Structure formats: C-alpha cells, structure tokens
Amino acid sequence: MQISSRFTMAIHIFACIDTFQNDYKITSDFLADSVNVNPVVIRRLLSQLKSAGLVNITRGSGGAAIAKPLDEITLLDIYNAVECVDNGELFHFHENPNMQCPVGKNIHNALDDKLSRIQKAMENEMQKITLADVIRDAQSFIKK
C-alpha cells in the first residue's frame, strides 16, 4: 500500500513555484519539466490545488502562484487536496472476509479501530508540517 505519488508531485510543484516564481512564468510545461511527467498530470494537480484554494492560476501570461503564505499550508492540506486515498480511507480493507471463519468474522472488530488510529496519527503529524518547513529544507539542499 502506498499513498499516491500525486502527493509528492504536488509538494514538488509548490517548491518549484516558490523557487522560480520571480524568474520564470510558472506554466504546466515548466513544472512538468522539473517533475518529469506529462504536463496533463500537472494540469490535473494544479486544478485540484486550485479547487482547495492552495494555488491561483492565471491563464495566458500569468501562470501558477501559491495562494497562501507557506506557513499556512500543511502537508495535510496538500494530501487532502490531491485526493491521495479513496474516500478518505488510508487503508483499504478486503471486502468480503469469510463470515464462516472465526477470524474472518471478527477481523474488522479486531483491526478497524487500530487502522483508524494509525491514519489519525499520520494526519496529525502531517498537520504539524508546513510547506514552509519543506521548502526551507529543500532550499538548504539546493544551496549545497
């Protein structure tokens, strides 16, 4: 099980916008070149980020811009914006355990709460980390 790469691509997009906004027009083609994906993938992500109020997109000569201060955007905001998991559930439980089996009949009772707590812990940690934290770290590596 992995969280979709859309999450890390979205963070990459933010880092590029912040790094290059004063020197380049931030287009989907420009971003796609850095992320090394098709521009269609970038446009889809930018659309999701725009719907979440995290980026502004000006068609034509404007390009993409970050809509809020970096310290007001958390990793959880980005994670939620790009729909990294189905129906908000990190863990996808197998649909039809055998109800005739004592394990199959009780596996949800034994595991559901634990998986929920794990997801909540991850989301709580993501809420503590801002885009400012990530970009500050990324820039420290760029300067080396």
pLDDT in tens, 5-64: 999 999 999 999 999 999 999 999 999 999 999 999 999 999 999 999 999 999 876 799
| DSSP-based three-state secondary structure for 53 | coil
Tell whether 101 is covered by a domain: yes
Q: How confident is the model at residue 131 (pLDDT cuts 50, 70, 90)?
A: very high
- Domains contained in the chain, number: 1
pTM (two decimals): 0.87
Domain extent for 105 = 6-142
Tell whether 1 is covered by a domain: no
Place of tokens 């809020």: 68
- If one compares 87 and 37, the residue with the highest pLDDT of the two is 37
The answer to whether the CB of 43 falls within 8 A of the CB of 5 is no
- If one compares 82 and 143, the residue with the highest pLDDT of the two is 82
The answer to whether the CB of 70 falls within 8 A of the CB of 131 is yes
The closest of 126, 77, 81, 86 to 2, measured between CA atoms, is 86
